[in-house]
Amino acid sequence: MLSPAEWDAIQLSMRIALSAVGWILLPGIAIAWLLARREFRGKALLDGIVHLPLVLPPVVIGYLLLVSLGRRGFIGQWLHEVAGISLPFTWQGAAVASGVMAFPLFVRAVRLSLEAVDPKLEAAAHTLGAGRWRIFFTITLPLSLPGLLTGTMLAFARALSEFGATITFASNIPGETRTLPLALYTLIQSPGQEAAAARLCVISVVIAMASLVASEWLARSARLRTRERDG
């Protein structure tokens, strides 16, 4: 049986991971399309910035978020004064940190899927009078759906397991920002909590594996439906 604190950590982790995926969907698709379909100055720089969270230590990302989105940060001060929003040390801030860390995985999966769509199909639709938005929503997006689903599930799994950026930007507050990884870390530091730590470890592995299996199943189902429709 899980304790109320452990249940809180699981539920909070799910809420934060879902929120993280929710806020990166639109900007992630937009940037993936831009990188896949357009050539422009600074493209390599944009690609590098997008992938920075993969190569920088998560603590560095958390510190950068704290500097920029904290109450004295150049963005956070404006948010606090104008909109009354304060992200550090809140579950919303944890969702922002988790989303930033998951963003590169989502963008990369969607970009690869968009690059696999034959541009000739889009060109043919354009010659028949279809506008850019209609082409995107009726041709490009449906054909890239497997990559979109894969990227979404990978981003969810990454957000669920985020530790470094979250503890730096949102801290480790019980019931507010203590996610599964942070709860596991707390238990490891407490003598006599080995059994509880083992339970959370198993739960983390099960949820991560379920996310990866669901990602593969959804992507395969989407590919099969696309082939049946085209065939």
- The residue behind tokens 């930033």 is 100
**What pLDDT is recorded for position 142?**
85
pLDDT of residue 230: 58
CA-to-CA distance for 210 and 27, rounded, in angstroms? 26
Report the pLDDT value the prediction gives residue 229, as an integer from 0 to 100: 62
**134-175 pLDDT, tens digit each:** 888 888 888 888 889 889 988 998 999 899 999 999 999 988
What is the third-level CATH fold of 4-230? MetI-like fold (1.10.3720)
Segments in the chain forming alpha helices (H): 4-37, 43-55, 58-69, 76-78, 91-115, 119-127, 132-135, 141-143, 145-160, 164-169, 180-188, 194-230
Q: What is the pLDDT of residue 34?
A: 93
Model's pTM, two decimal places?
0.88
Token pair, residue 199, equals 């339970």
Integer angstrom CA distances of residue 135 from 18, 27, 34, 231? 29, 19, 15, 20
Residue 225 exposure: Cα atoms within 13 Å on the Cβ side? 11
Q: What are the domain boundaries of the chain?
A: 4-230
Q: What is d(CA 96, CA 99) in angstroms, rounded to the nearest whole number?
A: 5
Residue type, 181: P
d(CA 231, CA 224): 10
Specify the pLDDT at position 219: 74
Q: What is the pLDDT along the chain (231 residues), one digit of tens a residue?
A: 677 878 888 899 999 999 999 999 999 999 999 999 888 899 999 999 999 999 999 999 999 999 999 888 888 888 888 888 889 999 999 999 999 999 999 999 999 999 988 888 888 888 888 888 888 888 888 888 888 988 998 899 899 989 999 999 999 998 889 999 998 998 888 888 888 888 888 888 888 888 888 877 877 777 777 666 655
